Amino acid sequence: MVGALSPRADSQATPGGGANAAEAAGRRAGRLAAIAGAAERLRPWLIEQRRDFHRHPELSNREERTARVVAEQLRAAGLEEVRTGVAKHGVVALLRGARPGAVVAARADLDALPIQETLDVPYKSLNPGVKHACGHDVHTAVQLGVARVLSQMRDRIPGTVKFLFQPAEEGAPLGEDGGAAYMIAQGALADPQPGAIFGLHVAPDLDVGQIGYSLGPALASADRFLVTIRGRMSHGAWPQDGIDAIVVAAECIGALQTLRSRRIDTREPFVLSIGKIQGGTRSNIIADEVTLDGTVRTHSEAVRAQVKELMREVLDGVTAAHGARFTLDYRDGNPVTFNPPELVQATLPALRQVVGQAQVIERKPVMGAEDFAFYQQVVPGFFYFLGVRNTAKGITAMIHTAEFDVDEECLVVGVQAMANVLLDYLERAAASP
Ligand code: NI
């Protein structure tokens, strides 16, 4: 796997390597120009396609229309192998190049969020209470654009490109399967299995025209936990007859925060937040039960495992000290989104050629999460960020807000970036022995 990912160093070049290098440079320049021209010609179509998705946002696992449009557009682009109904509304399509070679995958997500649009734009959401507030309309339009561009270049593609259009990135409704893990379970990464997978996400903290990346961890693991603390009910004036679950819960909350301050390596990013607390019945009744609902985020699977264990230890000690009991329902969510450094380093030249060296920016990893991480557990994957901010146009809102929007210039940039990344990967794989 690593061999195919590593660009050949000049120092290892055999005699005649100079000619090979010149040949590779020529091929690269040709590829860049061909993709740039094709992406530019797609500009009006990309904008209209993104606006169509934006007008018709659909919630997680309900992406019926979006998936239908995606499949139609893929077929219109000339892709013959379009599989629909994967993990509910997912679409997986293959684009076979004219020459044999490796397989590479790209992933876009389809779902929107339960947020009421407040923007007054010609393409505002027609679906009350639902909005593409995380840019998945952009991701899907860009990936359709990539399929169109590469479909016109089959003769120069050594290998196969697999396109994954994934539902429910934001999380399936309670009780339903969904998202990346479900796509994998339904064979999205099999037959053929790609050698690598790439994904991009809009970034409102980067200007349009910029691309961001992180080496190693890029986004956090995100787990949910539900703690139930059980005491004993009594009259509020006779607390000695009961076990006050509220007082015990308060101690648990404080003690859990000491995991951050006193137990976990201070150099390791880690967040434990309790977002919801519920308990008690009345002012003069000692509560017999309190539930705490929260999230744990880390950038390391080792820290994640350690936190899980320490939480149990702390809850066990604190509740025992008061004669209370507890249950911990710890639900694993997305793993750490981890970009293997060798894959990132091998890919960066292609991104730098598209937007320019200074526009490719290394970013600190964030504590947000992405289910792209599940694909990375199966094959090496690189998840990078596409700038969408334009301060002059007032486009600065954060994702997951009612005001979120993008500078649509990002569409052509996104198509150029991803098309080059995919083709560059296949060319490198074809060039390595
Ligand atoms: Ni998103």
CA of 404 to the centre of ligand 1 (A): 12
pLDDT tens for each residue of 192-210:
999 999 999 999 999 999 9
CA–centroid distance, residue 75 to ligand 1 (Å): 26
Contact (Cβ atoms closer than 8 angstroms) between residue 167 and residue 188: no
14-27 per-position pLDDT tens digit:
444 567 788 878 88
Taking the C-alpha atoms of residue 21 and residue 378, their distance in angstroms, rounded to an integer, is: 32
Distance CA 387, CA 277 (A): 37
Q: What is the pLDDT of residue 9?
A: 36
For residue 136, the CA-to-ligand 1 centroid distance in Å is 6
Q: Determine the average pLDDT of the residues in 112-139.
A: 97
State in Å: Cα 110 to ligand 1 middle.
9
* 211-213 sheet: strands from edge to edge: 81-86, 90-96, 158-166, 99-109, 196-207, 381-389, 211-213, 360-362
- Assess whether pLDDT exceeds 60 at residue 49: yes
Whether 179 has a pLDDT exceeding 50, the answer reads yes
Q: How far is the CA of 169 from the centre of ligand 1 (A)?
A: 7
Q: What percent of the chain has pLDDT over 70?
A: 96
**What's the mean pLDDT in 214-230?**
98
pLDDT digits (tens, 9 = 90+) for 259-299: 999 999 999 999 999 999 999 999 999 999 999 999 999 99
Write out pLDDT tens, residues 342-364. 999 999 999 999 999 999 999 99
The Å distance, Cα 128 to ligand 1 centre, comes to: 20
User: Above pLDDT 90, what percent of the chain?
Assistant: 92
Q: How far is the CA of 357 from the centre of ligand 1 (A)?
A: 26
Q: What spacing in Å lies between the alpha carbon of 356 and ligand 1's midpoint?
A: 25
Confidence (pTM): 0.91
- Residue 134 Cα to ligand 1 midpoint, Å, equals 5
Distance 114 CA to ligand 1 centre (A): 13
Predicted confidence (pLDDT) at residue 107 exceeds the cutoff of 80: yes
What is the residue-averaged pLDDT of the chain? 94
What the block records as the tokens of 356 is: 């320019």
Distance 267 CA to ligand 1 centre (A): 27
Predicted pLDDT at 5: 39
Question: Ligand 1 center to residue 138 CA distance, Å?
Answer: 10
CA–centroid distance, residue 170 to ligand 1 (Å): 7
The Cα 57–Cα 69 span in angstroms is 12
Alpha helix positions (H), 56-109: 64-76
pLDDT at 17 (0 to 100): 53
303 CA to centre of ligand 1 in angstroms: 24
pLDDT tier at 432 (50, 70, 90 boundaries)? Answer: confident
- The helix or strand, by DSSP H or E, that contains position 358, with its residue range, turns out to be none
Give me the domains of the chain, ranges plus CATH numbers: 18-218+338-431 (3.40.630.10), 222-334 (3.30.70.360)
What's the mean pLDDT in 138-167? Answer: 97
